[in-house]
Amino acid sequence: MTPELGQLALILALLLALAQGVLPLLGAWRGNGALMAVARPAAAGQAVFVALAFGVLSWAFLHFDFSVRYVADNSNLALPWYYRLAAVWGAHEGSLLLWIFILNLWTVALAALSHKLPDVFVARVLGVLGLIAVGFIAFILFTSNPFERLLPMPPDGGDLNPVLQDPGMTFHPPVLYMGYVGFSVAFAFSIAALLGGELEQAWVRWARPWTNVAWGFLSAGIVAGSWWAYAELGWGGWWFWDPVENASFMPWLVGAALIHAQAVTEKRGALRAWTILLSIFAFSLSLLGTFLVRSGVLTSVHAFASDPKRGLFILCFLAVVVGGSLLLYALRAPKVAGGKPFGVVSRETAILIGNLMLTVAAAMVLLGTLFPLLGDALNLGKISVGPPYFGFLFTLLMIPIVLLLPFGPYLRWGEKGGLPPLKNVAVRAGIAALACAIAAAFTTGWALKAIAGTAAAVWCCVGTLLYVLKRWREMPAGRRYPAEMAGMLLAHFGVGVFLAGVLLTEALSVERDVRMAPGQVQTIGGYDFRFDGVHVADGPNWQGDQGTVTVMRDDREIAVMHPQKRTYTRGQVQTESAIDAGVTRDLYVALGEPMDRNDPEGAWALRLYHKPFVRWIWAGGLLMMLGGFFSAADKRFRLRREATEKLPASAQESHA
């Protein structure tokens, strides 16, 4: 009975979403206040019913209701409760339910925090979000119903895919979806602005904090995914340029461009049309990401069994969203280039170059990701595009950004002639980068990537710190670092940390697959790894072999590591790597396979890795995430009404 309640709740949510999507937009068009007022209650009601459906599914998982097909497929009696809860979004149907649930969270937050905005505008934004919700709830109900019954009811269920049984995986999808779905808010703002013809700066200021938060979540989600791949897939890589990873990376790139373009539009009025276009792209790429992951059209290490009908639905949805919004854009986008003019050496120019590089990078990733589909359609054969394509082009495209990054805060809006301070910065950061690069050259034995990484990281970090110092000296206490600026500085510093992590790891990692008999010692990166054999270990829903590897340096014991090879209840095999984490290096051990199946106590194939500075990659990503959150918290964004009133001239023009 209960699962049907969930189904019913979803149907009611669909009806409310229809009301939320259609009536307020009509009201805004006709100037009917009553219809516009439907938006908030409809959004709240929809959120209640979706939450109910989500709760019902979670309840079914927690209480082993195997009469629900989705529950039976993805959990069993032996699965611990926390993974049963995570299993709610462990496969297709539930993850879509999570998607829509998060969309509702965003919508409700927006409805609650938007009382200071004009009613017409709010009605349009919530209406657009309602339409998106209609699409997704219909998708769930018609193609991927999580409450479908399975009769007769099996005594025990299947299993949650073992690679998903990991703490990293429990929070990776929700956080990633917070980011994906968050871009729908920026998208709704842009569409509302196009519909209302409000192409002045005001709406951009309202949209900015939402975009920043969404981008922050997306950064966190990608970091979590990368870390999970590192720890769980068992071969110690942190990024594979895999289609599914690219799917989350493209909206991130466009989102990064978007938050910078929004700043220009808000402060200077320039690049308005571009900002709107970017928010359409960011959301479309989020949808494309969902499509790529869920349709299985591309070969991916993350791909799961899938259903072509679903892919078709998302593809149609995507066509409607992209086509519709681009049509609207073509009809309503500002025809005349607006905003204040800017000189060649100005913050606008720097941001524009950065934007260009980020969007071209996103286009490049899109081309590489979809190229196999293209090749298939043109009958070129079965093609895949190797990771070096992405690595090579992405590095080239990011060089200008890295070079410009320290100057960003020093450059002034619009003005010409800010050269002298820039020279100072360039000289100081340049000397620091050069000195550290030379030091790196001698300590790493002229590893080119390590030298480049050190130089680039020091260049970014020192450049950013110099600006921190300048503010500290020149501004009175309390006004030194407004949240918006603090966020920017944190994120830019994060870029430096990230660069150091990536290039040093790439240059200095030692990865060795070896055959080891118990007692044997291998020396890697100055550490002695002693293999102490394998014995049997059991978990709640798996049996496994657990190896013991003792790591020593200069005869001092550093770590005792326990990599595992697990066999889950349904026979799926899963490698659990053992990682000894550190600030300057990770030690990584994974069990390969026994050399002789009949003698698991004997010799094994092992992966032994020494990965210097690998944590810095994720630390950099987390700093960028913090940057997004900090910026969004700026007081300026909260004093909206007052701020609008102080700009009567421009604001009124827009409403005229």
Partner 1 sequence: MNPTRKRRLTVVLLVLAAAVVAIGLTVFALQQNMNYLFTPSQVQSGEAGQYKTFRLGGMVKAGSIQRAADSLKVTFTVIDASGAMPVEYNGILPDLFRDNQSVIATGRMDNARFMATEVLAKHDETYMPKELKDAMAKAHQGKTINEAAAQDKPR
Q: Are 357 and 396 in contact (CB under 8 A)?
A: no
Looking at residues 581 to 610 of the shown chain, list those that interact with partner 1 (rule: CB under 8 A).
592-593, 595, 605, 607
Query: ∠ CA 162-62-108 to the nearest 5 degrees?
Result: 100
| DSSP 8-state assignment for residue 601 | T
Q: Are 425 and 406 in contact (CB under 8 A)?
A: yes
| Listed ranges 341-349, 386-394, 416-424, 546-554: which one lies at the site for partner 1 (CB under 8 A) | 386-394
Among 360, 403, 468, 647, contact with partner 1 (rule: CB under 8 A): 360
| CB-based burial, 509-523: b 16+ in 10 Å, e otherwise | beeeeeebeeeeebe
| Shortest separation between residue 310's beta carbon and partner 1, angstroms | 9
Looking at residues 500 to 539 of the shown chain, list those that interact with partner 1 (rule: CB under 8 A).
513-515
Binding mask 21-60 for partner 1 (x = CB under 8 A): ----------------------------------------
Among 148, 376, 557, 653, contact with partner 1 (rule: CB under 8 A): 376
Binding mask 414-453 for partner 1 (x = CB under 8 A): ----------------------------------------
| Shortest separation between residue 389's beta carbon and partner 1, angstroms | 4
Of 102 and 591, nearer to partner 1 (C-beta) is 591
| DSSP 8-state assignment for residue 334 | -
Secondary structure of residue 204 in the 3-state scheme:
helix
Binding mask 88-117 for partner 1 (x = CB under 8 A): ----x-------------------------
| CB-based burial, 336-364: b 16+ in 10 Å, e otherwise | eebbeebeebbbbebbbebbebbbebbeb
Secondary structure of residue 420 in the 3-state scheme:
helix
Among 29, 64, 371, 481, contact with partner 1 (rule: CB under 8 A): 371
Tell whether the torsion through CA atoms of 90, 94, 96 and 101 is positive or negative.
negative
Among 387, 421, 482, 518, contact with partner 1 (rule: CB under 8 A): 387
| Shortest separation between residue 382's beta carbon and partner 1, angstroms | 4
Q: Are 610 and 507 in contact (CB under 8 A)?
A: no
Among 29, 59, 304, 329, contact with partner 1 (rule: CB under 8 A): 304
Of 365 and 436, nearer to partner 1 (C-beta) is 365
Amino acid at 245: E
Would you state the structure tokens that stand for residue 630, as one six-digit string? 């900090």
Among 37, 150, 301, 558, contact with partner 1 (rule: CB under 8 A): 301
Distance (Å, whole) CA 128 – CA 215: 20
What's the Cα-to-Cα distance from 559 to each of 12, 72, 227, 525, 587, rounded to whole Å?
56, 40, 21, 15, 9
Number of residues in contact with partner 1, rule: CB under 8 A?
A: 48
- Does the footprint of partner 1 cover residue 142 (CB under 8 A)? no
Distance (Å, whole) CA 141 – CA 135: 10
Among 116, 267, 302, 428, contact with partner 1 (rule: CB under 8 A): 302
- Does the footprint of partner 1 cover residue 294 (CB under 8 A)? no
Omega within 30 of 0 (cis) for the link into 174: no
Secondary structure of residue 551 in the 3-state scheme:
strand
Q: Are 230 and 614 in contact (CB under 8 A)?
A: yes
DSSP string, 496-540: HHHHHHHHHHHHH-EEEEEEE-TT-EEEETTEEEEEEEEEEEE-S
| Listed ranges 218-226, 360-368, 615-623, 643-651: which one lies at the site for partner 1 (CB under 8 A) | 360-368
Of 82 and 392, nearer to partner 1 (C-beta) is 392
- Does the footprint of partner 1 cover residue 161 (CB under 8 A)? yes
Of 80 and 602, nearer to partner 1 (C-beta) is 602
| Shortest separation between residue 165's beta carbon and partner 1, angstroms | 12
Amino acid at 463: G
Q: Are 321 and 287 in contact (CB under 8 A)?
A: yes
Distance (Å, whole) CA 530 – CA 553: 11
- Does the footprint of partner 1 cover residue 386 (CB under 8 A)? yes
Among 364, 411, 502, 503, contact with partner 1 (rule: CB under 8 A): 364
Of 376 and 601, nearer to partner 1 (C-beta) is 376
Distance (Å, whole) CA 261 – CA 279: 10
Of 206 and 568, nearer to partner 1 (C-beta) is 568
| Listed ranges 264-272, 305-313, 463-471, 622-630: which one lies at the site for partner 1 (CB under 8 A) | 305-313
| Shortest separation between residue 344's beta carbon and partner 1, angstroms | 11
Among 58, 325, 575, 631, contact with partner 1 (rule: CB under 8 A): 575
Among 248, 346, 355, 574, contact with partner 1 (rule: CB under 8 A): 574
Q: Are 432 and 485 in contact (CB under 8 A)?
A: no
- Does the footprint of partner 1 cover residue 316 (CB under 8 A)? no
- Residues within the interface to partner 1 (CB under 8 A): 73, 92, 158, 161, 163, 234, 296-297, 299, 301-307, 360, 364, 367-368, 371-372, 376, 381-389, 392-393, 396, 513-515, 571-575, 592-593, 595, 605, 607
